[in-house]
Structure 1
Amino acid sequence: MVFRFAKTLDPITLFHAPSLQTSTNALNILKAASAAATAGTVTSNRGEFQLEITTAPPTTDQLRNIIDYVTANPAGAGSNKTDYAVGEVIKGAKDAEDAVKRFKEGGEGTFIRPITVDWTNGKAVLGDNESEILKMVHQLEAN
């Protein structure tokens, strides 16, 4: 008898703010992408993924990861990271340490939503940029 472990799906988290139109747009993009991946109607290097939607702020460790995913890679060419400023993740932050300090002091209100995070591949998209979100969730190469 052969035992097989079920393949775990890659988790993708949307840090969601239902009151923001951009967050609702990002949610709708992700739901459609998840449905298409489940139905097999999209050519994807990933296939199905586990969509997690939360209105809670990230943990401090998650925040550090998100900042790492979105800030510029000093290695330059060939980077898979999308270049965002730390201040686009935490209001007014100048660098990663400042962001964590502001987040701990100011709480949830300092964290800017929506942010979609692919934890498995170390990528994040801020806002509701449909092409960037789809590129991330389907693991497509940049054009």
Structure 2
Amino acid sequence: MLPTATRMSLFKNLFKEAGVKDVITLFHAPSVPASMRAHAILKQAAATAQSSATEDQASDHDNQSRLQRTDFNLAPELYRSDSADISNLDVQETPPTPDQLTSILDYLGPSKAGTVVEEATGTSDALRKFNAKQQAFQRPVTVDWNNGRAVVGDDESELMRLVRTLPKETDQV
């Protein structure tokens, strides 16, 4: 009999709901140029992930051989545009909840609190300032909730690293 963790992983893979995918959230402000750049980078990554996931089976398999996240896309019910059906980037123009902010600060570490909440010197200071004034939250912040990672700003290499990080269950393949 297989170990419990292996059985559970197998069970999840066999019976997981169609359409349930990793969620990446972009806390976005259309008026902030860096946020618009981050959004464009993530939209491009979603389009690339979709196209590489459906490559012709007779084609070069080098791209398919590399393990990478291929089910990353933009959630159509949360984001509407003229582009094709792109679904699992959750684009939020509202600030995170206090619980979400706590998770984001945990992912980034206390030294990055000032990059997430204006003039914060640490995690508790960031939470205090955020609770007093939610507009102190700095956008863009991109969060991979399943892998416990976050990126502040529009650094393309950091955003692509976050997007390409394999879901935790796949890491052990």
Runs of 4 or more above 3 Å deviation: 41-44
Structure 1 Cα separation of the partners of residues 115 and 27 of structure 2: 14
Residue 141 of structure 2 corresponds to which residue in structure 1?
115
Out of 70, 74, 89, the position equivalent to 1:47 is 70
| Largest Rg, 1 or 2 | 2
Aligned length in residues: 126
SS in 1 for 2:133: helix
Residue 14 of structure 1 corresponds to which residue in structure 2?
26
Residue 7 of structure 2 corresponds to which residue in structure 1?
none
Residue 27 of structure 1 corresponds to which residue in structure 2?
39
Equivalent positions of 1:74-89 (< 5 A) are 85-89=112-116
Residue 7 of structure 1 and its aligned partner are, at CA, apart by 5.6
Residue 135 of structure 1 corresponds to which residue in structure 2?
161
> Is the CA contact (8 Å cut-off) linking 1:37 and 1:44 kept in structure 2?
no
Q: Please identify which structure carries the higher helix content.
A: 2
Structure 2 Cα separation of the partners of residues 116 and 21 of structure 1: 15
Structure 1 Cα separation of the partners of residues 19 and 67 of structure 2: 16
Structure 2 Cα separation of the partners of residues 24 and 44 of structure 1: 29
In the alignment, residue 71 of structure 2 is paired with which amino acid?
Answer: E
TM-score (normalizing by structure 1): 0.81
Task: Give the structure, 1 or 2, with the largest relative contact order (CA under 8 Å, sep 6 or more).
Answer: 1
Structure 1 Cα separation of the partners of residues 102 and 25 of structure 2: 15
Residue 91 of structure 1 corresponds to which residue in structure 2?
118
Residue 61 of structure 1 and its aligned partner are, at CA, apart by 0.3
Structure 2 Cα separation of the partners of residues 120 and 114 of structure 1: 19
Runs of at least 5 residues in structure 1 that lack an aligned partner in the other structure: 73-83
Structure 2 Cα separation of the partners of residues 9 and 40 of structure 1: 17
- Whether 1:105 aligns to 2:105 is no
Q: Please identify which structure carries the higher strand content.
A: 1
- Whether 1:70 aligns to 2:111 is no
> Is the CA contact (8 Å cut-off) linking 1:44 and 1:139 kept in structure 2?
no
